[in-house]
């Protein structure tokens, strides 16, 4: 039954996304008109705060777009804050995107500035807590996320992505920013937006980061049912232009996703379908047995990742060359290698039986320790635990002195072994 369901979802997703797989720019893409590279118009300068440590916080409100409504033109306004390091630039820079119900995270931006990054945060339209972002306004406040009537520009997610693209342009225009060393990062709905921004601005980015946020909604996601309820033409429009999974073939720059093995917002199947289309370097970490949270060493991997690609720092570890073999006694032998490790600890293989737990959100992922071998690392999933179809992934934590005090964890992709 599980294979039938997955096959059906994959077929639906492929059929709906076929039109988006064509090469070349899409003249009907509603974002194309806004990919100007120009900084948005500032409508209100809320001033600059200089903190005792020399970090400057500049608060602004910009005009995102003007919409025609029955009552007349209506402006979409967006609040941003830019945290700049003490000292002369140019500095690398990051747009940091909050999750659903959040707001511009100025403490996080200041934290990034302390270690040498110019960091922009914003109240993301359609995603920020409505009562927490008083400077934001616009027609999107009355729009739903999962809608494309009469087109996707009438979804609040369109404004979320658009404002984030424009925030990138605004950040790039700052005199202290090195435009060749810029990244975008986000969590949950902000991770979705960061993935969309990576699709739209690949040529302008050095690297992109997401926590949980993915594309390929129809491969398993919290919103899959709502998307499926849309009339066919509207559903195709939404998937084509607002599902990052229809665009990730545009991503050629490094991309990292940290997510949860049991995440109900974007399943690992959705995540891996999205990653599979990217043309750049991809790395990932699955937090085992968690839903929309990270509970393992390495939750602070964002800065080491950006240090690698924006500052030329030590490279992140990566699981490579994972191979599986069903042995004669029914057990599964797993072999894998890990590159760029300094002090590897806790190498493991996590596994689960989909037949016993068909819902990805309810699975129990058990683990077996992996031992070093001439071929890297090796683990064996016992036959008693692997009698049928088995999903598994390799997991390793590295205490790397050049990557900071926090441990760094990475995993392989999840493999299905028959």
Q: What is the largest CA-CA distance in the chain?
A: 73
Tell me the two tokens of residue 277: 């289309």
Structure letter (DSSP) for residue 302: H
Assigned architecture for domain 2-280: 3-Layer(aba) Sandwich (3.40)
pLDDT in the model for residue 405: 66
The whole-angstrom separation of Cα 291 and Cα 35 is: 35
Handedness of CA 108, 125, 185, 258 (dihedral sign): positive
**Cβ 64 vs Cβ 125: under 8 Å:** yes
Residue 192 CA neighbour count, 13 Å, CB half: 26
The predicted pLDDT at position 299 comes to 65
Q: Which letter does DSSP use for residue 173 in this model?
A: T
Q: In the beta sheet, which residues pair with residue 325? A: 333
Cis peptide before 150 (omega within 30 of 0): yes
Say what the pLDDT of residue 1 is.
41
User: From its phi and psi, is residue 417 left (phi > 0), alpha (psi between -120 and 50) or beta?
Assistant: beta
Euclidean distance between CA atoms 334 and 325, whole angstroms: 7
Q: Tell me whether the CATH fold assigned to 2-280 matches the one assigned to 319-417.
A: no
Show me where the domains of the chain are located: 2-280, 319-417
Q: Give me the pLDDT at residue 118, please.
A: 98
Residue 309 burial (CB count, 10 A) = 22
Q: What is the pLDDT of residue 71?
A: 84
pLDDT, averaged across the chain: 92
Nearest to 102 by CA among 169, 224, 26, 191: 191
What CATH number labels 319-417?
2.60.40.10
CA distance 366 to 319: 19
Identify the pLDDT of residue 21. Answer: 41
Q: d(Cα 164, Cα 82) in Å, to the nearest integer?
A: 13
Distances (CA, A) of 300 to 85, 211, 281, 386: 20, 11, 20, 33
Q: Please report which confidence band the pLDDT of residue 357 belongs to, taking 50, 70 and 90 as the band edges.
A: confident
Check residues 51 and 297 and name the one with the higher pLDDT.
51
| pLDDT tens per residue across span 200-215 | 999 999 999 999 999 9
Q: Is 330 exposed, middle or buried (0-12, 13-18, 19+ CB in 10 A)?
A: middle
Taking the C-alpha atoms of residue 52 and residue 240, their distance in angstroms, rounded to an integer, is 48
Q: E strand or H helix at 338, and its extent?
A: strand 332-339
Check pLDDT > 90 for residue 165: yes
Compute the distance between CA of residue 45 and CA of residue 235 in angstroms, rounded to an integer: 40
In terms of C-beta density within 10 A (0-12 exposed, 13-18 middle, 19 or more buried), how is residue 156 classed? Answer: buried
Helix, strand, or coil here: 270? helix
Structure confidence at residue 68 (pLDDT): 87
Q: What is the pLDDT of residues 277-335, one digit of tens each?
A: 999 999 999 999 999 999 988 667 899 999 999 999 999 999 999 999 999 999 999 99
Does 219 score more than 60 pLDDT?
A: yes
């Amino acid at each position: 039954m599980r294979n039938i369901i997955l096959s059906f979802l994959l077929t639906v997703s492929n059929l709906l996304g076929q039109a988006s797989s064509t090469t070349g720019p899409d003249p009907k893409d509603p974002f194309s008109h806004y990919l100007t590279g120009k900084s948005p118009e500032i409508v209100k300068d809320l001033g600059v705060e200089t903190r005792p440590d020399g970090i400057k916080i500049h608060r602004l409100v910009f005009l995102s777009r003007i919409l025609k409504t029955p009552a007349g033109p209506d402006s979409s306004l967006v609040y941003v804050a830019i945290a700049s390091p003490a000292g002369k630039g140019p500095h690398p820079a990051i747009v940091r995107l909050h999750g659903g119900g959040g707001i511009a995270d100025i403490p996080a931006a200041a934290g990034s500035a302390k270690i040498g990054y110019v960091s922009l945060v914003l109240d993301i339209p359609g995603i920020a807590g409505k009562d927490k972002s008083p400077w934001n306004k616009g027609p999107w406040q009355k729009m739903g996320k999962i809608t494309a009537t009469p087109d996707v520009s009438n979804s609040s997610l369109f404004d979320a992505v658009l404002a984030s693209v424009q925030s990138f342009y605004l950040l790039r225009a700052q005199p202290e920013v090195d435009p060749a060393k810029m990244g975008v990062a986000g969590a949950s709905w902000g991770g979705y937006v960061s993935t969309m921004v990576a699709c739209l601005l690949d040529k302008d980015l050095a690297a992109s980061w997401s926590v949980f946020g993915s594309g390929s909604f129809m491969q398993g996601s919290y919103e899959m049912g709502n998307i499926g309820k849309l009339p066919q033409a509207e559903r195709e429009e939404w998937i084509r232009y607002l599902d990052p999974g229809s665009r990730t073939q545009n991503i050629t720059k490094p991309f990292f996703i940290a997510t949860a093995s049991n995440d109900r917002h974007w399943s690992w199947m959705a995540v891996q379908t999205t990653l599979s289309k990217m043309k750049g370097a991809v790395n990932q970490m699955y937090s085992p047995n968690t839903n929309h949270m990270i509970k393992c060493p390495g939750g602070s991997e964002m800065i080491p990742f950006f240090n690698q690609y924006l500052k030329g720092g030590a490279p992140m570890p990566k699981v490579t060359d994972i191979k599986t073999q069903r042995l004669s006694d029914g057990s599964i032998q797993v072999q894998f290698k890990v590159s760029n490790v300094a002090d590897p600890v806790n190498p493991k293989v996590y596994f689960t039986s989909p037949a016993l737990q068909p819902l990805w959100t309810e699975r129990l992922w058990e683990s077996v320790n992996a031992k070093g071998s001439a071929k890297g690392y090796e683990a064996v999933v016992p036959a008693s635990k692997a009698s049928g179809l088995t999903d598994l992934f390799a997991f390793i934590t590295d205490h790397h002195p050049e990557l900071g005090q926090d441990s760094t964890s990475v995993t392989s992709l999840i493999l299905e072994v028959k």
